Structure 1
Amino acid sequence: MSSFSFRGWSKGAASRVYVDCDGRAAGHIDLVTGNLHPAPGCVEQLTAATAVLVSRLAGRADIPGDLALRPPGFMLTELLERTRTPDRRDRIRSGIAGEMRTARALNGMTGVRSLHSLPLAPDHDLDHVVCGGAGVVVVNTKSTVFDCTVDDTGVAYVGGHHQEWAVKARNDADALESMLRRSGVSAPVSCLVVVWAKTFTGVGRTVVPGERLTSVLSGMGSNVSAAVVDAAYEVMRHPSFWESTARMR
């Protein structure tokens, strides 16, 4: 029986897996198109290696600490348990309720898989990461009892106060994109800020009202293949991805 080894490679929008069969190069798998590129005389070997790789990925369903099982608002719930100040606890509860509301909206979408409360840093998480037809999208949830207004430049104001939501969301998306690339998955990462507010006025590309989340996501296109999006989802399920890549940031 042949022995296969796999090596990831990515540059820009390109992402591949190179395959060796019994110590000799057998070609590569293009993760963007899904096409196989066998070395001369290695069609059968590369095809067999692809089946082995798919089997290995399928066998990763039982992942210790699988983050696909993590509920929305997980990190906020842990923070709530450590917080004693009543006003602070009320704000945290509001945040948890908002993330749960966003998760319910995402769960109602078809062709979408979501991960919640992913640990970008020990004290900072990504509320939701959505993988589907829109590619990979970081979704940050904001909840407020005040009115939210988005001006013509896309800047949000809550109760008249300027918010840096869009800038911070883009920074989070850029960080995740870099982390994925270092793990061999080259996928651009988009971002949205979903606001559950008393009222929402204005039209923004990044900051959107919670009631429009599903329609905005459905309208977002992506040039990334489903294979790459699936690979990103599988990588992000592993706690080790966040532990090892966070140390390199």
Structure 2
Amino acid sequence: MSLQTARLGEVFLLVWRTWTGRVGIVFLGLMVLASIYTLLTMPLDYGTRVWSNSDYWKDYPKMVPPDWYRALFDRSLLPHTVMKLEQPSSDRVLNYGGYQVRVVTYTFTYSYESPTYPQNVRIAIYGVQVRNPSIPVVLSVSLERPDGRINQLYFEIIRIPQELVGQKIYTPVPKDVNAYGNMYIASQLSSFLSTRYGLSINPADLAQIGVERVMFGAPTSPGNISSLEPLNGIIDLPSRSS
């Protein structure tokens, strides 16, 4: 045992004689300390609960550059933003066709100040509860931009089976509305560009350009989609369920 210790000591001194060896030893020591810190601080179920959990990465996609990359290399990149609303912005009961219909609105307000576009926009809806199966849930998303408003950016009627009446649906897995490649949203944006800017573009072609780019951009030259530039300002996304 003492012979092995002596040999290790000799190897250490031999490596320590050079600057590259010293840097390597320090780096190895830092890696060991980081590993020990990780084992002591990270939950034992982190791998299954977070790293391998596809639902978690919907809010924190792996392709998003981390904040340290933005800080060191490209500060023009948009920071990843997760906005959560526990309480509605408004909650009203309306009389519709002889029925009392509850309209719940959640408004997401985002200050968009960047020369680059977001990679995607996702709305996740959790915990919808239905008490009357004869009245379906109507999901509607609007978009209010500095240059105008799209009243029905997204629309869907969700019919609830009788056996789920009174229970909360979309929990723990939410109802997802993704802008990326969404043809309904592309169609609404196409109509908006035609009305607001006189620009005629097929929704399929718009989807190829990028729905999220058009949501946060505006043409600087009338009738020219290639002149699309980021439209900075306050962006509101009122999301309603009724």
TM over 0.5: no
Using the size of structure 1 for normalisation, the TM-score is: 0.21
TM-score computed with the length of structure 2 as normaliser: 0.21
Bigger Cα Rg: 2
